Amino acid sequence: MKRRLAILVLACLVFSGFSQVLASPTEVVSLGADLTEAQKKQMLEFFGVSEIDVMMLTVTNAEVREYLKGIASEDKIGTKSISCAYVKPAPKNSGIKVTTHNITWVTEEMYASAMITAGIENAEVIAAAPFKVTGTTALTGIMKAFEKATGEELSHEAKKTANEELVLTGELGEELGKDKANELVLKIKQQVIKQQVKNPDDIRQIIQKIASELGIELTEEEINKILSLMEKISRLDLNVNKISEQLDKISSNIEQIKKTVEENRGLIQKILDAINSLFAWLRQIFSAT
């Protein structure tokens, strides 16, 4: 009897461990539905995986339109689904890491910030395409892949708001520059979420204050668009502490990038100064002769 009981307990433990392995997060690749078979193979090779290694799913243009219709222009949405995404859940407190390939309109930071709005946390993501595309459609594949990888369903409203944020930041980037636009939207969102601001007048004050601090002049139309987006974000059922932590990680990455750019700019300036000094010296020599 004891022997049977021991075998039963051991079997339960083995089955439990096996079930946990099956249920654990895994890597997922989303492929655009309009890719050719050769392009699909190309993307899998780029991600460094095979169909055996990862879970696979397809994203159609109809799925993309569900989130972008009425938000993005037709040239940004397109008629075909080309963008692909590789998503791998990361350990707790890792934050979000995004890299891109052949994405021309959306930056890595823009994806990361929008993903946080959608409710995604702790993930490694690659957004890519076999040729140059705007990248607005990739977010749909990223969200779908994250849900598949973790078994967690993201809020439909949060996913739609995330797409709106991506498009608005991109549009602001056309006027302000991508980095500046992303920094503006990120800092405003941080304040709204951390302080749990919901009053439109208070949100407007935050927008104007941060824009002023960054030396950005916004039109009334741009302020109203950002205000509308932040009102939607403030109504989302997001975990304030988790979201703030993820946003802080992105913010620190942006600051590091800015610091690196400034340092490189200083180095380049020193090189240019040295070259100018050399030419000035040479001019003196030749003028003396």
pLDDT by 10s per residue, the chain, length 289: 544 444 443 444 334 443 333 334 589 999 999 999 999 999 999 999 999 989 999 999 999 999 998 899 898 898 999 999 999 999 988 899 999 999 999 999 999 999 999 999 999 999 999 999 999 989 999 999 999 999 999 999 999 999 999 999 999 999 999 999 999 999 999 999 999 999 999 999 999 999 999 999 999 999 999 999 999 999 998 777 777 777 777 755 544 444 443 444 444 445 455 555 555 554 555 555 5
52 belongs to a structural domain: yes
CA dihedral 72, 244, 87, 165 (to 10 degrees): 0
90 belongs to a structural domain: yes
116 belongs to a structural domain: yes
Q: Work out how many domains the chain is built from and give that number.
A: 1
What gap in Å lies between CA 95 and CA 107, rounded to an integer?
Answer: 17
Q: Quick one: which of 158, 84, 85 has its CA closest to 120?
A: 158
Do residues 44 and 29 make contact, with C-beta atoms less than 8 angstroms apart? Answer: yes
Q: Which domain holds residue 110?
A: 25-249
What gap in Å lies between CA 150 and CA 55, rounded to an integer?
Answer: 12
267 belongs to a structural domain: no
245 belongs to a structural domain: yes
202 belongs to a structural domain: yes
93 belongs to a structural domain: yes
271 belongs to a structural domain: no
Q: What is the pTM of this model?
A: 0.78
